[in-house]
Amino acid sequence: MAYSPSKPDSGTSVKVTAFVNYTYNELNNVTLAYSVELGPETKVAMNKVSSMIYEGVIPCQRDGSDVEFYVQAFAIGGEAVKSGKFSYRIEDSILGIGATMFYLVALTIALLIIIYIVIRLTKSRLKKSQTFTRRVGHRN
């Protein structure tokens, strides 16, 4: 089983490709089941693209969502075979990094700039105060 992209963002659907090798009976259908944030399962039929390859699509999800999915094959005789579960997290990126990390870096830079400005203003006021004290001291 494979899915792409491996790190989707909120504007991208995910294509799931499954290799189904079921030799006992003919397959009736192959289903892709997924859930978002441990919510209710949604099942969609997978399309047969070759003798043993099936594809299905999980639609776009919102940023920060955790998605779990598996594939289940149903034989004409009633038997069912289920894959293990797979999962991924939706993360929008800005400049190639996750949005959360981007905002943390931006906030840190903004705080450093504010601290720098406060230090510069404090030094400037302190210097003016010392100059004023010297001038006043000379008059006495």
70-109: per-residue pLDDT in tens?
999 998 888 888 999 999 999 887 766 666 777 788 889 9
Phi/psi at 5 (5° precision): -70, 160
pTM above 0.85, yes or no: no
Pairing state between β 80-82 and 66-75:
antiparallel
Q: Which two tokens stand for residue 103?
A: 């905002």
Segments of the chain with pLDDT less than 70: 23-25, 95-99, 131-140
Domain check: are 69 and 83 in the same one? Answer: yes
What local confidence, expressed as pLDDT, does residue 125 receive? Answer: 79
Other residues' Cβ atoms within 10 Å of the Cβ of residue 19 = 11
Quick one: DSSP state of residue 85?
Answer: P
Domain check: are 79 and 115 in the same one? Answer: no
What local confidence, expressed as pLDDT, does residue 27 receive? Answer: 82
Average pLDDT, the chain: 86
- DSSP H helices, the chain, are 99-139
Domain check: are 107 and 76 in the same one? Answer: no
What local confidence, expressed as pLDDT, does residue 43 receive? Answer: 97
Domain check: are 107 and 52 in the same one? Answer: no
Domain check: are 70 and 55 in the same one? Answer: yes
Domain check: are 105 and 85 in the same one? Answer: no
Range(s) of the domain holding residue 106: 97-139
What local confidence, expressed as pLDDT, does residue 103 receive? Answer: 78
